[in-house]
Amino acid sequence: MNLNIGVIKGDGIGPEIVAEAMKVLDQVAKIYGHTCDYTQLLMGGASIDVHGVPLTDETVAAAKSCDAVLMGSIGGDAKTSPWYQLEPSKRPEAGLLRIRKELNLFANLRPAILYDELKGACPLKEEITEGGFDMMIMRELTGGLYFGERKTVEEHGVMTAYDSLTYNENEIRRIAKRGFDIAMKRRKKVTSVDKANVLDSSRLWRKVVEEVAAEYPEVTLEHMLVDNCAMQLVKNPKQFDVILTENMFGDILSDEASMVTGSIGMLASASLNETKFGLYEPSGGSAPDIAGKGIANPIATILSAAMMLRFSFDLDKEADAVERAVAKVLAEGYRTIDIMSEGKKQVGTEKMGDLIAGSIR
């Protein structure tokens, strides 16, 4: 199979970690008889430097012509980067919001897995994490507070800011269906997270999710308020299978989940539309403070590439091979600095990519 992949290397550590994911993809292609055609795309700060905007129409069109897009992290230091002297609509993150909307990437999948080998990097007590955990956070990505109307005005001499949180039933239904479909392939449990005791949008969310749940009698549905979910993630993460939630709650909870896996450098993600097309990226930021030092953890990006093989190309065997290679390298004691513990073997970004690529079978 020919894999037509758009590549957004991004900013900060983005180019470093994407290079290692491409190395792994090339090894998969070599072993399993595929070819990879890469189309280089600019977005974020890298696009601002060249085009003056974080995302061009031409980049959107080129991305749409690909079967999937692999992306590194975007953005820079908000205190020192000239990108953040621009108005908000021209800053790096505006490009990310726009491409999600333009490509209709409404379903964000973020697996949070605690590998047994990384128990020492997890900040939770061992009795909580014994046996590890494996959850999938399903986040609605193109609606809610991040895409609602916003403005800052002066009213009666006082500066006042407005942000609108809006969802319609169709937006909720399509993400709920994706969540239940994923649950059917896992342990058949969905935890729908909302704030229905306060928000009208959450009350509609809960109503529509219950309607969708009726179509999946094999799946157990539970509702959980977002503040309780935040507590439960650190009290008993093993209880979760699929967490289904709206945009802002998903943003916050998935970052929390990343830290109980040991490092945000371990958290992959996929953003899918209604076809097989997806954008695949690590959940962490661009970490400009360590960019160019060769110490960034590429595993989240490599695991994102594995998700791309699985969800956009239906290459489950190849995706399994990548995930096994990551587990093997961790079991052999190799660690980047963010997941390093006593008695393990510290390696840099490039060496970690080499080890994983060399373990593909």
Give the residue numbers marked as catalytic: 146, 195, 227, 251, 255
- What does the block give as tokens for 108? 């964000």
- Say if residues 161 and 152 touch (Cβ distance below 8 Å): yes
Q: Which amino acid is at 281?
A: E
C-alpha distances (whole Å) from 95 to each of 75, 92, 160 are 10, 6, 26
| DSSP conformation class of 214 | T
Q: How many CB atoms are closer than 10 A to CB 123?
A: 9
Q: Which of 220, 239, 217, 218 is nearest to 229 (CA)?
A: 239
Rounded to an integer, what distance in angstroms lies between the CA atom of residue 17 and that of residue 276? 24
Closest to 43 in 3D by CA, of 103, 110, 109: 103
CA separation for the pair 6, 68 (Å, rounded): 6
Alpha-carbon gap, residue 305 to 283, rounded angstroms: 13
Sign of CA dihedral 111, 294, 93, 199: positive
